Structure 1
Amino acid sequence: MQRSFSLVFLSAFLYFVLGFEPTTGVTLILDTHLNNIPSHPQQHSPLAHETEKTLMDSLHAIRERRLDAALDGIETLIGTHPEFRLAQLIYGDLLLSKSQLITSIGNWPNAPRDKILGLREEARQRVKHYLHRPYSILNNRHRNAQELDTLPGYLIRVGKNLGQAVIMDIGQSRFYAFENHGAGIRLRGSYYASVGKNGFPKQSEGDQKTPIGVYLTVGSIPSDKLPDRYGVAAFPVNYPNEWDSRFGRTGHGIWIHGVPSNTYSRPPFSSDGCIAIANEDLLSMKDILAVPNTPVIIAEHVPWIDRREITARHGQFETQFDRWCRDWESQNHSRYAKHYSKEFQNETKNRASWLQSKRNINAEKRHIRVEVSNLSILGYPGERNTLVVIFDQDYRSNNYNRRSRKRQYWRWERNKTREAEDNPKDGVWRIVYEGSF
């Protein structure tokens, strides 16, 4: 059957959702910042979820004025996912445009305005990632993961014992899952996700904001132990972490969880502070999130940099980290102390008390050996030039041996003039927090 659609609808859709600026009448031009977008979408990767792929194909068909194809795709989508509210909204507008002129997206007079605006924003965020994906795929030789030309700048090194890490890019409403396959870090999946309705960063109990920082998963909660609002599973993280506590941030119960059974996804800013992901997407990476101590990096914006630059960065830092280990073994207190910032503070000690404690302990040692394994180095979002370092430590001496997992925060600090001879660069990495867990 021949279908006819309103070009006014097409014009409005391109403007409100795809970001294309209509001119007078129905002639359309691209907004200036999209002029370099190719006429065809980026090739879908094998990791692209079929649900989002179908939605993006339909939106692209609208962009190309192939509205029959768009309607077919949306009909297929709501046939398999009738709870997908964004798809239902687009479907309704496509049908309505056949019988009347419409001038915006969500032409339902009785629909709550905030709901319509939330769905529009979800569409924008999905399309923005689709058109401006921050990476290219180098190869697909690995069945479940892809090697990329760039990586998030926060993933400096992921230890083999951790094996995986996830990153939430709030500005893009995007949740990335990565795996360490020995030869390097690869992308496991990319998913649309929602965060706190009041944005970020979290500061206090009940502020309905999402924290910014580096966290670790601390377990999992199955669906039969959860209210429906949290979906098929929940994975709590250790907010507030030691850095949050240092700055007096309060609150609790920050989870990565699913969505209610009556919806497929939620608008970008709609949770009470947690990260909410479509149930089928959450289940697809359950094996990653269920592993205790999986790093969870939450950032306002995720910079993507060349893989070779990542390698250079961790090489530069590891030289300094190795020097800390050797200076500790040397029992030269002055050299060891230089690695600790004047702003060092952990749960029980400041710099002076920490160093005095180490001096007292080392006075009883004839020798010290420190071996480090499973080293992970992660950039800390929201903190300039700050790294979180997680590692297994094997400490041995003549009268005490201990294996432990440690976490340190290192910060790049400017050199003073008298240090310039020893450190010709304009700064040095120093420890501002150290503790075991």
Structure 2
Amino acid sequence: MLCLFSLSEASNLAKIYLNEGLEAVGRELEKELANKDFWAEELKGKDVSLGYYDEESTIIVTNKTEKTFKVFRYQDGKLTQEFDQKNTLTGLMGDKEIEGDLKTPIGFYELGKKFTPPTTYYGHYAFATTYPNLLDRVQGKTGGGIWIHGYPLDGSRLDEYKTRGCIALYNDVLKEFTKLIENRKEVFAMTEEKEVVRANTDEIAALLASLFAWKHSWTISDTKTYLSFYDEEDFRRFDKKKFNEFAAMKRAIFSKNERKTIKFSKISISPYPNIKNEKLFRISFYEDYYAPSYQFRGNKLLYVKLKNGKMQIIAEQ
């Protein structure tokens, strides 16, 4: 629960409301949400090393070099480690690029529900990841079927080649893991190679402030400010449109100067492991958008770089 204003500030808002109306109050609130200092204060005492989440979330972290598999629970700003398994089997080292390269992808993915695999080679059951995600697809990566699964029930030997990029846990360990996460709503899988990718309060505060500044510029059709939040060189939309084509489309839409209402909720910001060790993040949220010509309610997804304290969007859906 955000506490935006003190008693005196609330009194000032009341005066603004009486003198200028509700929309003027909304503008003041938007200014505060686009203020990094506000978010830095709001995040005090919260552990955001694995990201910021509005809802209770579970994050699985697999390190391919250390062969570790850890599970963390994030709730109300607290991060608790619940599971730590060593000697985890993954695919080959390096980031997955093409189908059949036998590599476990490096990145951040959602985890699906438990399912029964087509053969007992993968153990009693498995969990599918969302590889390739949006960023993978716009970068041209191929392949799929990256699972967390068990060992062959007939005792066949597994190695880093035979996993074909999946993450394999001993069957008794998989059962423990399943009991832990089976009924949880938001479960994510993060795979790293060597470097431990973590976030800090300053980064998350900067991203939250940027997110709301981007939203405000979108709301008021401030094209120049809106487009300044996109990486002109690396940006790709979900349909692989590059920045220039995307920008032209947005200029045409913004030129209508339609009255818009945009609300964000259920925000999550996660550090995104990558082979270049760049400061990348995955941002997701629920968007409630209304304009006379278009309405949308649904999940929104951004992949961003953090440059000079400001988010730069490199992929969007």
TM-score class, shorter-chain normalisation, is 0.7 to 0.9
Q: Which residue type is aligned with residue 230 of structure 1?
A: Y
Selected match of 1:165 from 53, 56, 59: 59
1:430 corresponding residue in structure 2: 312
Q: Which residue type is aligned with residue 330 of structure 1?
A: I
Residue-by-residue CA offset, 1:377-414 (whole Å, 9 max, x unaligned) = 1112124111111111111234433211011011134x
RMSD: 2.9
Give TM-score, length-normalised by structure 2.
0.74
Residue-by-residue CA offset, 1:171-219 (whole Å, 9 max, x unaligned) = 11111112222242221211232101x3332222222111111122244
2:141 corresponding residue in structure 1: 249
Does residue 346 (structure 1) correspond to residue 228 (structure 2)? The answer is no
Once the two structures are superposed, the pairs formed by residues 129-208 of structure 1 within 5 Å of their partners are 153=49, 155-160=50-55, 163-192=57-86, 193-196=88-91, 198-208=92-102
Q: Distance in 2 between matches of 1:340 and 1:232?
A: 45
Does residue 294 (structure 1) correspond to residue 187 (structure 2)? The answer is yes
Q: Distance in 2 between matches of 1:269 and 1:310?
A: 36
Q: Which residue type is aligned with residue 186 of structure 1?
A: T
Q: Which residue type is aligned with residue 329 of structure 1?
A: T
CA contact (8 A) 1:202 1:210 kept: yes
> Which consecutive segments of 4 or more residues in structure 1 shift more than 6 A?
149-152
Q: Distance in 2 between matches of 1:245 and 1:292?
A: 25
* Structure 1 residues 264 and 166: alpha-carbon distance in aligned structure 2, compared to 1, 3 A threshold: farther
* Structure 1 residues 152 and 230: alpha-carbon distance in aligned structure 2, compared to 1, 3 A threshold: farther
Larger mean CA deviation between 321-330 and 346-355 belongs to: 346-355
Show structure 1 runs of 5+ residues with no match.
Answer: 1-148, 414-425
Q: How many residues align?
A: 267
Structure having greater relative contact order (Cα 8 Å, sep ≥ 6): 2
1:388 corresponding residue in structure 2: 282
Q: Which residue type is aligned with residue 313 of structure 2?
A: I
Q: Distance in 2 between matches of 1:261 and 1:272?
A: 18
SS at match of 1:210: coil
Residue-by-residue CA offset, 1:70-127 (whole Å, 9 max, x unaligned) = xxxxxxxxxxxxxxxxxxxxxxxxxxxxxxxxxxxxxxxxxxxxxxxxxxxxxxxxxx
Q: Which residue type is aligned with residue 157 of structure 1?
A: Y
Q: Distance in 2 between matches of 1:346 and 1:289?
A: 33
Structure with the higher fraction of residues in helix conformation: 1
CA contact (8 A) 2:46 2:78 kept: no
Q: State the identity as a percent.
A: 24
* Structure 1 residues 281 and 302: alpha-carbon distance in aligned structure 2, compared to 1, 3 A threshold: farther
Which structure has the larger Rg over C-alpha atoms? Answer: 1
